[in-house]
Amino acid sequence: MRQSVLTEPQAQFLREEKETLAGMQLSLSRLDLPREAMDSLQKAILQLDELFLIVIAGEFNAGKSALINALLGQRVLTEGATPTTSRVTLIKWGEQPAEQVVDEDFAVFTHPLALLKELNIVDTPGTNAIIRRHERLTDEFVPRSDLVLFVTSADHPLTESERQFLERILAWGKKIVLVLNKVDIFENDSALQEVRDFILKHAAIILGDQPRLFPVSAKLAQRALSEADPAERARLRGLSGLDELEQYINEALDDVTRLQLKFNNPLGVAERLMDQAGQGLSAQSEILNEDKTTSVSLETTITQYESELNSELPPRLAEIENILHRLEQRGLDFFDSTLRLTNVQNLIRGDKIRAEFEKQVLADVPQQIEEHVQRLIDWLVQKDLHEWQQVMSYLQRRRAQNLDHLVGEGVGPRETRRRELIDTVGRSVQTIVNTYDRNREASELAASVETAVAQTALLEVGAVGLGTLISIAVLSSSLDITGILAASTMAILGFFVIPFKRKQAKDNFREKMQTLRAQLVGALTTQFNDEKQNAISRLKDGVAPYTRYIHSELARIETAESALAEVRQSLSRLRGRAQAVLMN
């Protein structure tokens, strides 16, 4: 036979198709396709390695191995008078001659013959052995063969086991060509014709139609291969009858329609898998639409909550600062009206001035601040609970939608994981809402605020209440400006001392109130900002397993759809190339 069944452009396309399909297989393997579907593509790709498959069958000693060697033009298989093939043997290309025994009924034989890169041959045991145990041949190789060469021997033509084998493979509708081997034993043409007629008559009865029959002598064909003289080699080759059989095989295989089917079969399998993968991705995307909506709603709710806290908290804290500003102004007014020469007698009595200071300046400021801070705490706690309730309502609706699916509906691992996350996160959030104790949360936050205020550089006390802390802070700012003027001093230097002391007292008070205001408001701002961030973080962390998974799945689907589009483009290019190659 010729060294290649394919033309060079066809052989080049075959190599390109194998390489491209290997890339497609890798891409499709990432798309959660069923294993059976991927196995079908793997088989289709492997069939490109045995682009053409010829099954050779017949009785023991019919000369099957000799015929294979003659067709291949080399002594690839061992020949002998005793049965040499006890198992089905697949002959294919390999870098070195080697035999791999797969099991007692099947072996793979490799040989570095270029033709075997395109053409694989199946050598079989005797037909009686096939009838008994070689289901692999009739169930695997015969169905996908391009041609079945049925070899019968001239000395035992069409035995009973051979007839049974023909009947068994008839159902596959495969092209069966009869080869009458060892015709060199006939002394004249009439003897050969008699055997031909016998075979064709009985084969027609079995097959329902008269098959092609090629009389050959594998023995003479092999002698021709070893003959050095060209003329003698040609004579022996002509007598062998092998040229006519090879021409028929080449014409049968060199068929554009058949080749087109072989080139397109793996592409068709890949296309079906892409359709299946595309449908799967669409279904997954459809399922995730509701989760995407839920995820966006959760994230939007938390973002809006964060925005509200950021915009509403500063004005509420500013109210506390304004209270202290008003207190400072009353203090300055107090010093202006109190530290005067006309009030020298009262100035000498520090306890009275202190009492007046507490009454006129401090007044109910500690209670105002304490109440304002408590309202701020209640506001923050209530908003926190409200956000958790909103999150819970979104998740409850999504869980209810899951229950709408039909009972027993098949779901894959990804769908199971998605539902588990919704259930787990939903239950966690519901538990938080159900066990949310506003009074406890408010008390804990109030204690944190008091500790934060007490731990400022100005105040190193604690656990006495926020109002008491503020009273201590304000009064400590005025201790050194009450009861500091002795009567003797006033009598001698009053005219000069009073204005100076008044200015000194106001400057000191203003400075200390600024420090108090900065530290107190700073401590409150830090504490409430920390609590704000903690509240937001708790919400984000609570829904993060679900939202992260949904984002990840959406990104995975987007990536998979992009990869699938690229595979489709590769497939389209391959189909175009196949058409161009086969038409030329």
Three-state SS across 414-453?
HHHHHHHHHHHHHHHHHHHHHCCCHHHHHHHHHHHHHHHH
Q: How buried is 575 (Cβ within 10 angstroms: 0-12 exposed, 13-18 middle, 19+ buried)?
A: middle
Better-predicted residue by pLDDT, 462 or 283 = 283
Q: What is the pLDDT of residue 533?
A: 92
The model's pLDDT over 75-89, given as tens digits with 9 standing for 90+, comes to 777 765 444 456 788
Q: Which domains does the chain have, with CATH numbers?
A: 50-254 (3.40.50.300), 283-404+411-565 (no CATH)
Its pTM surpasses 0.95: no
Q: How buried is 439 (Cβ within 10 angstroms: 0-12 exposed, 13-18 middle, 19+ buried)?
A: exposed
- For residue 5, the 8-state DSSP code is S
Q: Which two tokens stand for residue 317?
A: 């804290």
Q: How buried is 242 (Cβ within 10 angstroms: 0-12 exposed, 13-18 middle, 19+ buried)?
A: buried
**Main-chain dihedrals φ then ψ at residue 58, nearest 5 degrees:** 160, 180
Better-predicted residue by pLDDT, 570 or 354 = 570
Alpha-carbon distance of 451 to 143, in angstroms, equals: 86
Of 325, 251, 301, give the one whose Cα is nearest residue 474.
325
- b/e burial code for range 545-570 (CB count within 10 A of at least 16 → b): ebbebbeebbebbeebbebbeebbeb
Most confident of 1-15, 84-98, 171-185, 449-463: 171-185
Instruction: Decide: 189 and 154 in contact? Cβ < 8 Å.
Output: no
- For residue 106, the 8-state DSSP code is E
The model's pLDDT over 319-370, given as tens digits with 9 standing for 90+, comes to 989 988 998 898 889 888 876 655 656 665 657 777 888 888 888 888 888 8
Better-predicted residue by pLDDT, 403 or 43 = 43
Helix (H) or strand (E) holding 246: helix 242-253
Contacts for 395 with CB less than 8 Å, ≥ 6 apart: 294, 298, 422, 425, 426, 429, 430, 543, 546
Q: Which two tokens stand for residue 406?
A: 């039909």
Lowest mean pLDDT, pick from 36-45, 135-144, 241-250 = 135-144
User: Roughly how many angstroms between the first and final C-alpha of the chain, as a whole number?
Assistant: 23
Which residues face 110 on adjacent strands? 92, 98
Instruction: Decide: 291 and 550 in contact? Cβ < 8 Å.
Output: yes
Of 326, 369, 357, 355, give the one whose Cα is nearest residue 505.
357
Alpha-carbon distance of 357 to 344, in angstroms, equals: 16
Q: Which two tokens stand for residue 292?
A: 């995407």
The model's pLDDT over 530-550, given as tens digits with 9 standing for 90+, comes to 999 999 999 999 999 999 999
Q: Would you say residue 22 has pLDDT above 80?
A: yes
Q: For all residues of the chain together, what is the average pLDDT?
A: 81
Q: What is the mean pLDDT of residues 188-196?
A: 90
Percent of the chain exceeding pLDDT 70 equals: 83
Q: Would you say residue 200 has pLDDT above 80?
A: yes
Give the C-alpha distances (Å, rounded to integers) separating 326 from 330, 507, 531. Answer: 6, 16, 28
Instruction: Decide: 23 and 570 in contact? Cβ < 8 Å.
Output: yes
Instruction: Decide: 335 and 361 in contact? Cβ < 8 Å.
Output: no
**Main-chain dihedrals φ then ψ at residue 229, nearest 5 degrees:** -75, 120
Q: Would you say residue 280 has pLDDT above 90?
A: no
Q: What is the mean pLDDT of residues 252-265?
A: 77
Q: Tokens 């399998």 appear where?
A: 269
Q: What is the mean pLDDT of residues 285-303?
A: 90
Q: Which two tokens stand for residue 244?
A: 């006519």
